[in-house]
Amino acid sequence: MSEPMEKIRVENLNFYYGDKPALEGISVPIQERQITALIGPSGCGKSTFLRCLNRMNDTIRGTRVEGHVLLDGVDIYARGTNVVDLRKRVGMVFQRPNPFPQTILDNVSFGPRMLGLAKNRKDVADIVEESLRGAALWDEVKDILKKDALSLSLGQQQRLCIARAIAVKPEVILMDEPCSALDPIATLQIEELMQSLRKDYTIVIVTHNMQQAARASNYTGFFWMGKLVEFAPTEAIFTRPSQRLTEEYVTGRAG
Ligand SMILES: Nc1ncnc2c1ncn2[C@@H]1O[C@H](COP(=O)(O)OP(=O)(O)OP(=O)(O)O)[C@@H](O)[C@H]1O
Ligand SMILES: [Mg+2]
């Protein structure tokens, strides 16, 4: 097996909300076509970090970034970066499923249409089917594509949001606690889906669920008060962490 490549390299990242530092000195590699899980107690900076990877924090006033985030070796914070193109390459799935209040079809076809990836009806139909299949939702919705997306179950809505994310053919998918609003069965469906998506995409997932991180990811980063305490292959984090704090957290004695 060949060594995985680095898709993203974060170097000495500091992040501030006003004067308040939220991330300090974060350096971490994100391997291509692997699942990287981010864990740590509430408020430690996981979502802030995730949003640094596609510059979603830019939309929050009074924030400041220092350091570098290299995507395929190119700094996404460099002057002249096209942020729309960046967010196409690095897509995001949120904690609460947030489909547009439109049809299932429109939810998936909106991005490709906007970005000119689909030129005619046939292209649209193809991308919609491919994306819904990719998100393991096609069989459940193929006969109701014109129905309101909000009529789906929460688990289906989250898979629809994943279909919407992959419809624009991103390279990286960021997921911020994508299962926290879902029941255990829908959660397992999303975890299975992540395993199949890993063949084509680099995935970074924030989770509060230790079992999920242990089961579903290849690498795990443990954050604590804005710092990355430890980053290692998932198995090492859960069986032989090098830091005492990591051990206390993953065994439930800290946090
Ligand atoms: N929009 C914001 N404005 C000001 N401070 C913020 C903002 N968002 C987050 N923070 C602060 O930054 C720190 C990190 O927050 P963040 O949401 O990244 O943590 P988290 O690890 O994702 O927590 P949780 O597990 O609860 O989602 C916290 O102290 C939080 O209060
Ligand atoms: Mg968060």
What would the pLDDT profile of 97-155 be if each residue is shown by its tens digit? Answer: 999 999 999 999 999 999 899 889 999 999 999 999 999 999 999 999 999 999 999 99
pLDDT digits (tens, 9 = 90+) for 187-196: 999 999 999 9
Q: Assign domain 6-250 to a CATH class.
A: alpha beta
Nearest to 187 by CA among 165, 174, 169, 205: 205
47 lines ligand 1 (CB under 6 A): yes
The whole-number pLDDT of residue 1 equals 55
Q: Where are the domains of the chain?
A: 6-250
The whole-number pLDDT of residue 42 equals 96
Q: Which listed ligand is nearest to 40 at the C-alpha?
A: 1
Task: Return the ligand 1 atom nearest residue 49 CA.
Answer: 18
Average pLDDT, the chain: 95
200 C-alpha to ligand 1 centroid (Å): 30
43 C-alpha to ligand 2 centroid (Å): 7
* Residue in 39, 47, 60, 206 to alter for ligand 1 test, most ligand atoms within 8 A of Cβ: 47
217 C-alpha to ligand 1 centroid (Å): 23
pLDDT band at 254 (very low <50, low <70, confident <90, very high): confident
pLDDT digits (tens, 9 = 90+) for 79-88: 999 999 999 9
The whole-number pLDDT of residue 119 equals 86
Return the residue whose CA atom lies nearest to atom 7 of ligand 1: 17
pLDDT of 3 above 90? no
39 C-alpha to ligand 2 centroid (Å): 10
The whole-number pLDDT of residue 253 equals 84
22 C-alpha to ligand 1 centroid (Å): 7
42 lines ligand 1 (CB under 6 A): yes
Return the residue whose CA atom lies nearest to atom 14 of ligand 1: 45
51 lines ligand 1 (CB under 6 A): no
pLDDT digits (tens, 9 = 90+) for 36-55: 999 999 999 999 999 999 99
pLDDT of 8 above 90? yes
pLDDT of 212 above 80? yes
pLDDT digits (tens, 9 = 90+) for 152-204: 999 999 999 999 999 999 999 999 999 988 889 989 999 999 999 999 999 99
The whole-number pLDDT of residue 36 equals 98
Does this model's pTM top 0.85? My answer is: yes
